Amino acid sequence: MTAPVLALHGGCGTLAQELLPTAEWDEVRAHLAQALRAGWSVLRAGGSAVHAVEATVVVLEDSPHFNAGHGAALTRDAQHELDASLMDGATLQAGAVCTVRRIRNPIRAARAVMEHSGCVLLSGPAGDDFAEQQGLAMVDNHWFTTPRRVKALADIQAGRAGGAIRPVSEADRHGTVGAVARDAAGHLAAGTSTGGFNDKPPGRVGDSPLIGAGTYAMNGVCAVSCTGMGERFIRHVAAYDIAARMRYAHHTLEQAASHLVHDLMHQHRIGAGLVAVDAQGQVQAPFNTLGMARGWIDATGQLRVATHQEIFDAGRA
């Protein structure tokens, strides 16, 4: 038996602290803690890392505060196209969906693809139809829409038309949610879910549903979920690069994760972040932006959540 570990992120595109009322930041942290508790209850009952990651991400998808599920970014034509993936480090099995429009919780569809489709990735209407056949909850596309995303899209599009209302921040464009876990059997898993970025071209697929780019898990090495401009993460096969550095160059998770976020992505001027756990249960959550919603539960069952630099105790699991 190993001690279970769970960590999550809610995207590296966090707004400056002064832009939201304190009560709203309190709610963001409460949702992070709720997501951690959902995953932890799976791990505590002896459930798998895969199941715990799914349970954690579902809560973040249902929260309006994060760019995944309800609250997801809008495409250029004001639709939602969602991407998600899940990977089991014990078997290297993985499942993903991309550009789906009707699945309430895309991470559940990623798990269904992994377990029941014989494929790794299902796209667009085929992904939606598969999820429906699997009996997953389906919603209208506008169910994902929140006033904040509508306003951000309008601002971006007004800016492009030459009448910028205010500069577009990383937070208006970006976000993603993800989780990593090690279960009592020592198995690792990672999952990621996103709406991509506001004003993305229809049909655009980011790193989040691509195994190796935004998500990767391998027992004995690490589990990783990334956030930031996906195109760069795809080109660097970022999540797998962390595992490869650990396997072949014997870097620690801290060295490999820090290199990706603070050296590589920073050099490209890319806002980036990730959460990761290694086989020993060490958690890393580096980011190079103003903030990254994040949280973890350590082996003693203590919850910690944060949006900017300050880390808050959020009680016991």
**Which residues are tagged catalytic?**
176
Q: Are 268 and 275 in contact (CB under 8 A)?
A: no
Q: Hey, which residues between 77 and 116 contact ligand ASP (CB under 6 A)?
A: none
Q: Which of 228, 286, 291, 295 binds ligand ASP (CB under 6 A)?
A: 228
List % helix, strand, coil for the chain (3-state, nearest 5).
35, 25, 40
Q: Are 219 and 89 in contact (CB under 8 A)?
A: yes
Binding mask 137-176 for ligand ASP (x = CB under 6 A): -------------------------------------xxx
Angle, nearest 10°, between helix axes 22-44 and 49-62? 160
CB closer to ligand ASP out of 207 and 241? 207
Q: Could you say whether residue 230 binds ligand ASP (CB under 6 A)?
A: yes
What single-letter amino acid sits at 260? L
Q: Are 275 and 56 in contact (CB under 8 A)?
A: no
Q: Are 71 and 144 in contact (CB under 8 A)?
A: yes
CB closer to ligand ASP out of 197 and 216? 197
Q: State the CB neighbour count (10 A cutoff) for residue 162.
A: 6
Residues that bind ligand ASP (rule: CB under 6 A) add up to a total of: 16
Q: Which of 105, 208, 288, 289 binds ligand ASP (CB under 6 A)?
A: 208
In the complex, what is the shortest distance from the CB of residue 246 to ligand ASP, in angstroms, rounded to a whole number?
A: 22
Q: How far apart are the first and last CA of the chain?
A: 19
Q: Could you say whether residue 197 binds ligand ASP (CB under 6 A)?
A: yes
Part of the chain binding ligand ASP (CB under 6 A), chosen from 34-42, 153-161, 192-200, 281-289: 192-200
Q: Could you say whether residue 186 binds ligand ASP (CB under 6 A)?
A: no
Q: Are 258 and 242 in contact (CB under 8 A)?
A: no
Phi, psi of 172 (to 5 degrees): -70, -30
Q: Could you say whether residue 196 binds ligand ASP (CB under 6 A)?
A: yes
Interface residues with ligand ASP (CB under 6 A) are 11, 13, 174-176, 194, 196-197, 206-208, 214, 227-230
